[in-house]
Amino acid sequence: MLGLGVSPSRIIFANPCKATSFIRHAAKTNVKMMTFDNLDELCKIARSFPMAKLVIRIHTDDTKALCRLNLKFGASLVAVPSLLAKAKELGLDVIGVSFHVGSGCFDPSAFADAIQRSRTAFDMGKDAGYEFSMLDIGGGFEDATFDATALTISSAINAHFPDRRETGLRIIAEPGRYFVSKAFSLATNVIARRTPTSAESEVEKQENSDAPSVRCMFIPPSTTLCLRYPSLH
């Protein structure tokens, strides 16, 4: 991004688990905004880049996504007050909240729930002595449900951040999947198939009742297919 001429002030290092060398490189190139979701990361940043502008990444419900990211990222709301207190103790500047509902989210209501949790995290920030000025609503946008998701997000933001214009709240997103979901094709050779038993099929149907349906068809072995990117999931 820096090589393309993007200002460091417009870049956020959105990985909450960073190598110390990466943090030092961010400091060297003046990329100040970065996320965290645990105590070790806070201490690491305090040692390597105490002037960073931090964004706390909170845990959200990603069960309605094709790729669940909250299995490894995100601080629970229960942990947020202690993390913010530690950040204050270390003299670190926390400027906002971020979340990610998972890549390929097919239920817009997940964003509404995450924005409500973000409001709670903002209030916790105020109790800790911070005035947050940024909300990163992450990514996971699906092409087929984008309009419905946008309406849900707008409604949730109006409900939970009605004073955003007066406070100058900056809202950003990470729509990577939305932009590239139709950008690639994959040619592959099918060499075998596995057909589940009727019992297995019934169990899977019950466990994934809310997931998008997948149409199956018989494909002879050694057939060459051309798959669109979303099919990889």
Q: What is the pTM of this model?
A: 0.76
Nearest to 31 by CA among 62, 9, 5, 50: 9
CA distance linking residue 100 with residue 68, whole number of Å: 9
Q: State how far Cα 40 lies from the chain centre.
A: 20
Task: Give dist(CA 104, CA 214) in Å, integer.
Answer: 15
3-state helix, strand, coil in the chain (%, to 5): 40, 20, 40
| Residue ranges of domains in the chain | 2-180, 185-232
pLDDT of 187: 87
Q: How would you classify residue 102: left for phi > 0, otherwise alpha for psi between -120 and 50, otherwise beta? A: left
pLDDT of residue 232: 44
Q: Are 92 and 52 in contact (CB under 8 A)?
A: yes
Provide the CA 223 distance to its chain's centre, in angstroms. Answer: 36
User: Letter for the amino acid at 82?
Assistant: S
CATH code for 2-180? 3.20.20.10
Positive or negative torsion for Cα 38, 44, 47, 48: negative
Residue 213 has what DSSP assignment? P
Do 65 and 44 contact (CB within 8 A), yes or no? no
Output the tens digit of pLDDT for each of the chain's 233 residues. Answer: 999 999 999 999 998 889 999 999 999 999 999 999 999 999 999 999 999 999 999 999 888 877 877 777 899 999 999 999 999 999 999 999 999 998 888 888 999 999 999 999 999 999 999 999 999 999 888 888 899 999 999 999 999 999 999 999 999 999 888 888 777 778 889 888 887 777 767 766 666 666 555 444 445 555 444 544 444 43
| CA distance linking residue 157 with residue 164, whole number of Å | 9
Rg (CA), the chain: 21
Which residue reads 């950040």 in tokens? 87
Strands (DSSP E) along 33-160, which ranges? 33-36, 53-57, 65-67, 93-98, 103-105, 134-136
Q: Which residues pair with 53 in a beta bridge?
A: 33, 93
